[in-house]
Amino acid sequence: MVQLDNDCFAFGGPMMALDPALALLAGRIAAVTATGTVPLTGALGRVLAANLVAPFNVPPHDNAAVDGYAVAFDDLAAGGATILPVTARVAAGRSLGRPAVRGEAVRIFTGAPMPAGMDTVFMQEDCRSDGASVTLPAGIRRGGNRRLAGEDVREGSIVLTAGRRLRPEDIALAASLGHAALAVRERLRVAVFSTGDELRQPGQPLEPGAVYDANRYALVALLTRLGCAVTDLGILPDRFETIRDALASAAEDHDAIITSGGMSTGEEDHVKPAVEANGRLDFWRLAIKPGRPVALGRVRDAVFVGLPGNPVAVVVTFLRIARPILLRLMGALEEAPRPVPVRAGFAHKKKSGRREFLRGSLTRDGDGALVASKYPRDGAGVLSSLVDSEGLIELPEDLAHVEPGMTVDFLPFKEFL
């Protein structure tokens, strides 16, 4: 269960920086999901619940890596070609059925088990044969073109670790070990709300002053991609009692609740008090831009993540704050996305003391180095800045300005899949 204490995230004092906030959360949030079993075809993106141990060697036997002729290396002539009789034929899925005898060559095909007593395979293109005998060239090494039993996977070794989000190649490996189903964690149940009287559902008429709800669609898509079971709970009005009751009801059958909007300090911002009426806030406001009014807390037993209303702030805070929290809740153990150090192709002034996220794209300089360009409009409401960019340029707290040529961190959006 989630164990967050209401202590060192002070609301009044200086704002907490991103890294200490994430480190604190990492120590306090544990996986909430139960486990079950899924067939391999339904396992993509699911979190593996238990280590997968190889029940046997892969490949299970030494086998030929090419189509050609298997021999015992010791039967080859020292400095020249060797001529041997071709005594048998072994295709993949078959075996010789007897140990090899000295002085014979066996016609063999890729994947076929090596005859016991043979250790080397000649590629057929390198040989001459009339069917009855084969001329083998000089120069092969002992063990050439032979794949050893267990060279892919050793019996008893852990091939997939619990906490891994399953990728296509993981599923293939599980299949190669004969597993038809895998133990996985149940999907995390996440409820999503938008808040704001000005919001309208796409497809509805838009009167003056209203805007279409974009955030909920971003969040549903981001959560679905993460493998969560998402419930779209629609738009809440800017009304304390409605928000309070909707949060309480969502907490009954969800592991986490994510909202956007209403997180600031205005008179119409009711999310924060509504959470406090149902549970508590563990932090509110971080030293980041955009996304400063982000909050984390609990509504009854559910984890609460409150994202600010501006759409760019929603995506940035989801990727950098909500996502790692949700992954922990899901029981997924994985490295944080790794930033790429790149050359800044722009100048930029920032306030020191806060982490700043710019939207950017990469090109290559004449010398081959990756250069980041910054999307020209910074505003936290400029959704097209995300669409037209490839990732986030993450500027550290202590930096006050970026000059062209400096090294900056670039986080490609594709790191966040």
Ligand X SMILES: Nc1nc2c(c(=O)[nH]1)N[C@H]1C(S)=C(S)[C@@H](COP(=O)(O)OP(=O)(O)OC[C@H]3O[C@@H](n4cnc5c(N)ncnc54)[C@H](O)[C@@H]3O)O[C@H]1N2
Sheet with 189-195: strands ordered across? 229-236, 189-195, 256-260, 302-307, 295-299, 279-284
Cβ 266 to ligand X shortest distance, Å: 6
Please, what is the Cα angle at 95 between 90 and 97, to 5 degrees?
115
User: To which H or E segment does residue 68 belong?
Assistant: strand 68-71
The contact mask relative to ligand MOO for 238-277 (x = CB under 6 A, - = no) is ----------------------------------------
Region binding ligand MOO by CB under 6 A among candidate stretches 13-21, 134-142, 284-292, 407-415: 284-292
Q: Does residue 278 touch ligand MOO according to CB under 6 A?
A: no
Q: Is 361 helix (H, G, I), strand (E, B) or coil?
A: strand
Q: Is 290 in the site for ligand MOO (CB under 6 A)?
A: yes
Q: How far is the CB of 21 from ligand X (least distance, A)?
A: 16
Instruction: Using alpha carbons, select from 271, 195, 191 the residue that is nearest to residue 235.
Output: 195
- Interaction with ligand MOO in 352-391: which residues (CB under 6 A)? 380
Distances from the Cα of 133 to the Cα of 107, 137, 408, 417, angstroms: 10, 13, 66, 56
Residues 300-329, mask of contacts with ligand X (x by CB under 6 A): --------xxxx-x----------------
355 binds, among ligand MOO, ligand X, none (CB under 5 to 8 A by kind): none
Query: Of 165, 185, 292, 350, which one interacts with ligand MOO (CB under 6 A)?
Result: 292
Q: Which does 214 bind (CB under 5 to 8 A by kind): ligand X, ligand MOO, none?
A: ligand X
The tally of CA atoms less than 13 A away on the side-chain side of residue 324 is: 20
CB of 192 to ligand X, least distance (A): 10
Return the range that interacts with ligand MOO (CB under 6 A); candidates 65-73, 126-134, 238-246, 308-316.
308-316
Within positions 268 to 297, which residues make up the interface with ligand X, using CB under 6 A? 269, 290, 292-293
Token pair in block for residue 226:
């993460």
| Closest to 223 (Cα-Cα) out of 295, 310, 330 | 330
Where would I find the beta strands (DSSP E) of 102-228?
105-108, 120-123, 128-129, 133-136, 146-147, 158-160, 181-185, 189-195, 199-200, 211-212
Work out what residue 63 binds among ligand MOO, ligand X, none; the CB cut-off runs from 5 to 8 Å by kind. Answer: none
| Residues between 364 and 403 that touch ligand X (CB under 6 A) | 380-381
Among 113, 163, 262, 345, binds ligand X (CB under 6 A): 262
Question: What whole-number distance in Å separates Cα of residue 411 and Cα of residue 320?
Answer: 10
Q: Which of 196, 261, 262, 291 touches ligand MOO (CB under 6 A)? A: 291
Point out which span in 123-131, 157-165, 174-182, 307-315 binds ligand MOO (CB under 6 A).
307-315
- 313 belongs to the binding site for ligand MOO (CB under 6 A): yes
Q: Contact at 8 Å (CB) between 198 and 210?
A: yes
Dmax (CA) for the chain in angstroms is: 94
Q: How far apart are CA 337 and CA 385, in angstroms?
A: 21
Q: CA 360 to CA 388: how far, in whole Å?
A: 8
Residues that bind ligand MOO in the complex, under the rule CB under 6 A: 289-292, 308, 310, 313, 380
Residues that bind ligand X in the complex, under the rule CB under 6 A: 194, 196, 198-199, 211, 213-216, 260-265, 269, 290, 292-293, 308-311, 313, 380-381
